[in-house]
Amino acid sequence: MKAVTQLSDIERQFLSALPDGRDNAVTLLKLSRTLHINKHKVSEIVARLRNAGYLVGSSKSRPNGVYFIITAQEFWETVNTINKSIQSQQATNYLKNQLFFLKRLSNELDSETKAGAMVDMQIPNLEMAIEELSV
């Protein structure tokens, strides 16, 4: 874990604003307003602090947001949330690669042929699946 003196000012401010326990979770938007930075920057701070060994929890169910992990259950909930996010991102990347391939294939095939028509029909399905995973 990083020594507190090695933290940036904004990281120290973030840690000071972070509540203890899942029941007190605060949204990234609220933290961004408190710290006067954008939400993306708050996400980057969460990632940096986690990589440095800080137990920053997160929850997507109510109350949703981030918090200091204070129980084993909160730790495992955060691990599961992160794993689900990784799996979703991997699925999205896979589908995007398939979509890229089908679009290239579609350009090569005559849409009047059965193969061309089948490829063209799959493109909207993949786009919808990617959109659903991205929400």
The pair of structure tokens assigned to 133 is 């995973």
At 1 the pLDDT is 55
Q: Is the peptide bond prior to 124 cis by the omega test (within 30 degrees of 0)?
A: no
Instruction: Collect the ranges in the chain with pLDDT lower than 70.
Output: 1-5, 135
72 burial (CB, 10 Å; 0-12 / 13-18 / 19+) is exposed
Q: Per 3-state DSSP, what percentage of the chain is helix, strand, and coil (rounded to 5)?
A: 70, 5, 25
Q: What is the pTM of this model?
A: 0.65
Other CB atoms within 10 Å distance of the CB of residue 45:
26
At 59 the pLDDT is 86
At 50 the pLDDT is 92
